[in-house]
Chain A
Amino acid sequence: MAEPIAKDIPADATPNVSEVEVVDAATEEEAVVALDAPVERGEPILQVRNLVKHFPLTQGIVIKRQIGAVKAVDGVSFDLHQGETLGIVGESGCGKSTVAKLLMNLERATSGEVFYKGQDITKLSGRALKAVRRNIQMIFQDPYTSLNPRMTVGDIVGEPYEIHPEVAPKGDRRRKVQELLDVVGLNPEHINRYPHQFSGGQRQRIGIARGLALNPEVIICDEPVSALDVSVQAQVINLMEQLQDEFNLSYIFIAHDLSIVRHISDRVGVMYLGRMAEIGSDEQIYEHPTHPYTQALLSAVPVPDPEAREQRERIILTGDVPSPANPPSGCRFRTRCWKAQDKCSEEVPLLAIPERFKGADTPAAHESACHFAEEKDVVHA
């Protein structure tokens, strides 16, 4: 069963296993030292370079032929700095969750690199990968399906210690788990309860406690509050901010709720169809967006204030997001863009500071992947 699937993966994505093992053995000592080294606040802790993930589309049952690929992530680059929160926004299907999985190495990248403290983790496996994963943890979207209903809270939160026993010796684990429950605002007495005995917000706290168990440095949060009720969302957001200060965490915060992303993020990246459309500080993106997609996205967000609403310009995009299996040539947004010209279908716009803003001391001078980048204040217009 596994073999025919393996054949479909391009050769460069599946390096010879024995080769990797050899490399690991040689660098492991070094790697462990490097991983423990502290990173100065503001220095990049995670560097993503040209990350690509193509899921093969196959035809045939016995003899599988690759007939195409879903280009879920197609050349994404960004840095995550120590102690900061990088928000990633975009519509469903834009590849933001695939990026999260690639950063965790839950999916193998087709090409590209993810450097954690200078070490490329996309090629790691075995013990070296395990060591890296201890420092990069994940919080999932749905607190109902991401917790095993047959395990107690104590088992769920303590499970990371089974995999990384060096973090907590066996006799100490129960106390550690209770401490964690206390940190996330749950009653430590509830250690023997099962997930169904908790509400949605409390379950998300359990997920956060599990993410914290190994004292990671980076936490990847994939839509951590979108399944929660409005009145509970704020509680969880506050908890996450408080934990960030307390444990000096760096967050990658993936969400589609733009107001929450703005509240929690220091920098924000906007993704569209597998590519980064625009990236900059929260102020640059929200107040001075230069990419038409960002502008449309911001203007479409319903604002809970009827008066501000009426003063705003709204850009309503036509049509839907094209299929990532067959993305448009050139700029991927051009099929829905009101500024699109011939150049947009011929030339892929690079993610860079637009020429016209280069060197200028303006908030519009941030990276934007558009040939005709210009400022348009949609939030206050």
Chain B
Amino acid sequence: MTIIEDAVPAPRGSDEETAPLLEVRDLHVEFHTREGVAKAVNGVNYTVSAGETLAVLGESGSGKSVTAQAVMGILDMPPARIPRGEILFRGQDMLKMSREERRKIRGAQIAMIFQDALSALNPVLTVGYQLGEMFRVHNGMSRKDAKARSIELMDRVKIPAAAARVNDYPHQFSGGMRQRIMIAMALALEPDLIIADEPTTALDVTVQAQVMDLLAELQREYQMGLILITHDLGVVADVADKIAVMYAGRIVETAPVHELYKRPAHPYTRGLLDSIPRLDQKGQELYAIKGLPPNLLHIPAGCAFNARCPKAQDICREKVPALFPVTEPDGTELPGRGSACHFWKETIHG
């Protein structure tokens, strides 16, 4: 029996359909500063499969971007350090890879879209040059071929008159168009996984809708995995399949998107949802989570949310809650749901 069991992992891994594209296991990231060690990420686990959208939701300082940078391999080390954890891309731990191996993955297989397109693009080079760089560096294409491909890409992301604009500089484009160029650049080498870090935060709502639609459409077409990092509960509801809510470097709740909004299982998630102004609350006081997010240099003992939580008991101040699987009151499992709260039952079932 045991012998067979040991041999089991193989069929799972070989099953291309279900094997996750990316698996982050117990990832820790800390920053060494003059004031002490800031623990930005404290044991994050998540998986993304091909064609799936994972939204990572959190406030500033929750560790959502640092996790993404660790996956992408663009953390400055030092001051950052990864004391523990694994980042498996197609089953291979990227943290154990050499610089050269990671470089081959970055851009070609995992690409990133940044928040502020104006500062992410080089202002003194034309967008055509910057897009073409992907093909020249990774595929060794000639300048001429690279430019032709750049125009194709700009067409793909629906930039009007792409052939005429390929020699324009970033400042000649509007915010929405610049973000499209960022998307084009991420798509250039047809990666398997895209990490979008607040891709629409800097954009106006009407443009934001255009850009999110484009991103979702391209993702469907190429069957890419997408990690969408955001603080905006509205943007998440639009496109994500599943959500991971982060707080002080930990995932405090995971759930399929519809479930999370209907029945949050963590007091923090509930607080966030309740603090959005709703129609029927006009003229009343908004629900507000009291207090402030913790200082990452001194994360409180036990549950990091305990000082702000209306449900906190002694156990919350002593014991760090694990990510408990969330079930119905009768014990039926709710697939994909988890809550890092000692009192998740009370939170979800009233």
Contacts and interface: CB of A to CB of B under 8 A. Distances in A.
A238 B292 contact: no
Contacts of B204: 91-92, 256, 321
Interface in A217-246: 229-235, 237-238, 241-242
Given A302-B234, A303-B237, A234 B209 contact: no
B334 interface: no
B210 interface: yes
Interface string A307-334: 1010000101110110000000000000
Nearest to A307: B258
A189 to B, nearest CB: 17
A309 B261 CA distance: 12
A6 interface: no
Contacts of A307: 258, 261-262
Interface in B205-248: 205-210, 212-213, 231-238
A258 interface: yes
B273 interface: yes
A263 B277 contact: yes
A259 interface: yes
Given A229-B59, A296-B206, A297-B205, A306 B237 contact: yes
B35 interface: no
A237 B286 contact: yes
Size bracket, chain A contacts = 35 or more
Given A92-B204, A256-B204, A320-B177, A301 B287 contact: no
B285 A241 contact: yes
Contacts of B261: 304-307
A199 B61 CA distance: 12
B286 A234 contact: yes
B321 interface: no
A260 interface: yes
Contacts of B234: 301-304
Interface in B274-306: 275-277, 279, 281-282, 285-290, 292-293
| Residue among B206, B272, B288, B290 with the highest chain A CB neighbour number at 10 A | B206
Interface string A237-281: 110011000000000000010111011000000000000000000
A300 interface: yes
A326 to B, nearest CB: 14
B176 interface: yes
Contacts of B237: 302-306, 309
A234 B205 contact: no
| Residue among B208, B238, B281 with the highest chain A CB neighbour number at 10 A | B238
Size bracket, chain B contacts = 35 or more
B60 interface: yes
A201 interface: yes
A219 B59 CA distance: 28
Contact of A316 (B177, B209, B258): B209
Contacts of B258: 306-307
Contacts of B286: 234, 237-238, 263
Contacts of B209: 300, 302, 314, 316
A237 B281 CA distance: 13
A230 B60 CA distance: 10
A176 B94 CA distance: 59
Contacts of A301: 205, 234
B282 A230 contact: no
A45 B273 CA distance: 36
A148 B225 CA distance: 45
Interface string A178-199: 0000000000000000000001
A215 to B, nearest CB: 24
B271 interface: yes
B307 interface: no
B257 interface: yes
A91 B275 contact: no
A237 B286 CA distance: 8
Contacts of A296: 206
Interface of B: 59-60, 174-177, 204-210, 212-213, 231-238, 257-258, 261-262, 271-273, 275-277, 279, 281-282, 285-290, 292-293
Nearest 6 A/B pairs, CB to CB: A302-B234, A263-B277, A304-B233, A234-B288, A234-B275, A91-B204
18 contacts: A91-B206, A92-B175, A92-B204, A229-B60, A230-B275, A231-B271, A231-B272, A233-B275, A234-B275, A234-B286, A238-B286, A263-B286, A300-B206, A302-B208, A306-B257, A316-B210, A317-B206, A318-B210
